[in-house]
Amino acid sequence: MIDITKKFGDVVANNHISLTIHKGEVHALLGENGAGKTTLMNVLYGLYRPTTGTIRINGKAVSIRSPNVAISNGIGMVHQHFMLVEPFSVTENIILGNEPTRAGGIVDMVSAEADVMRLSQEYGLSVDPKALIEDLSVGSQQRVEILKTLYRGAEILIFDEPTAVLTPQEIQELVTIIKNLTAAGKSVIIITHKLKEIKQIADFCTIIRRGEHIDTVEVDKVSEEELASMMVGRQVSFKVDKPEQQAGAAVLEIKNLRVVDKRGIAAVNGLNLQLKKGEILGIAGVDGNGQTELIEALTGLARVQAGSIQVNGQELANQTPGTIRTNHKVGHIPEDRQKRGLVFEFDVAENLILSSYNTSRFSTFFILLRAAIYSNAEKLIKLFDIRPANAKITAKSLSGGNQQKMIIAREVSSNPDILIAAQPTRGLDVGAIEYVHQTLVEQRNRGKAVLLISFELDEIMNVSDRIAVIYEGRIVGEIKAKEADEQQLGRLMAGCSL
Partner 1 sequence: MEMIIRDIGFIIGTTLMYSTPLIYTSLGGVITERSGVVNIGLEGMMYFGAFVGAAVAYFTASPWLGLLCAALGGALFGLIHAVACVTFNAEQIVSGIAINFLGAGSALFISRLLFDGATQTLTIPNKMPLPLDFLFGEGRLFPSSGFMDLVFNRFATVYLAFFMVFVVWLVLYKTRIGMRVRAVGENPEAANTLGVSVIKIRYCAVILSGVFAGLGGAAMSIAVVSRFSNTLISGHGFIALAAMIFGKWKPQGAMLACLLFGAAKGFEIYLGSKGVPIPGDILAILPYLLTLIILVGFVGKTTAPGAVGKIFDKSGH
Q: Which residues bind partner 1 (CB under 8 A)?
A: 8, 42, 45, 47-48, 66-68, 71, 77, 79, 82-88, 92-93, 96-99, 101, 104-107, 148
Rounded to whole angstroms, the Cα distance separating 444 from 93 reads: 48
Query: Residue 104, Cβ neighbours under 10 Å: how many?
Result: 5
Q: Which is nearer to partner 1, 85 or 383 (CB)?
A: 85
Q: State which residue, 45 or 384, has the beta carbon closest to partner 1.
A: 45
Nearer to partner 1, 261 or 417 (CB): 261
C-beta of 24 vs 67, nearer to partner 1: 67
Q: What interhelical angle do 138-151 and 109-122 show, nearest 10?
A: 100
* Contact status, residue 220 vs residue 41, Cβ threshold 8 Å: no
- The C-alpha R_g of the chain, in whole angstroms, comes to 25
Measured from the CB of residue 152, what is the shortest distance to partner 1 in angstroms? 8
Least distance in angstroms from the C-beta of 143 to partner 1: 16
Of residues 82 and 357, the one with the C-beta less far from partner 1: 82
Instruction: Provide, rounded to whole angstroms, the least separation between the CB of residue 263 and partner 1.
Output: 11
- Least CB distance from residue 48 to partner 1, whole Å? 8
Strand partners, 497: none
Contacts of 39 (CB under 8 A, 6+ apart): 6, 13, 14, 48
Please report how close the Cβ of residue 85 comes to partner 1 at its closest, in angstroms: 5
Query: Closest distance between partner 1 and the C-beta of residue 21, in Å?
Result: 20
Question: What b/e string do you get for 354-392 counting C-beta neighbours within 10 Å, with b at 16 or more?
Answer: ebbeeeeebbeeeeebeebbbebbeebbeebebeeeebe
Among 49, 35, 44, residue whose Cα is nearest residue 6? 49
Reduced to 3 states (helix: H, G, I; strand: E, B; else coil), residue 418 is: strand
Q: In the complex, what is the shortest distance from the CB of residue 26 to partner 1, in angstroms, rounded to a whole number? A: 22
Q: Please, are residues 405 and 386 in contact by the beta-carbon 8 Å criterion?
A: yes
Question: Which strands, in side-by-side order, build the sheet including 250-260?
Answer: 266-276, 250-260, 306-311, 314-315
Q: How far is the CB of 321 from partner 1 (least distance, A)?
A: 24
CB closer to partner 1 out of 84 and 461:
84
Nearer to partner 1, 88 or 346 (CB): 88
Tell me how many degrees the CA angle 427-491-227 measures, rounded to the nearest 5: 40
* Smaller CB separation from partner 1, 67 or 270: 67
Terminal CA-CA length for the chain: 48
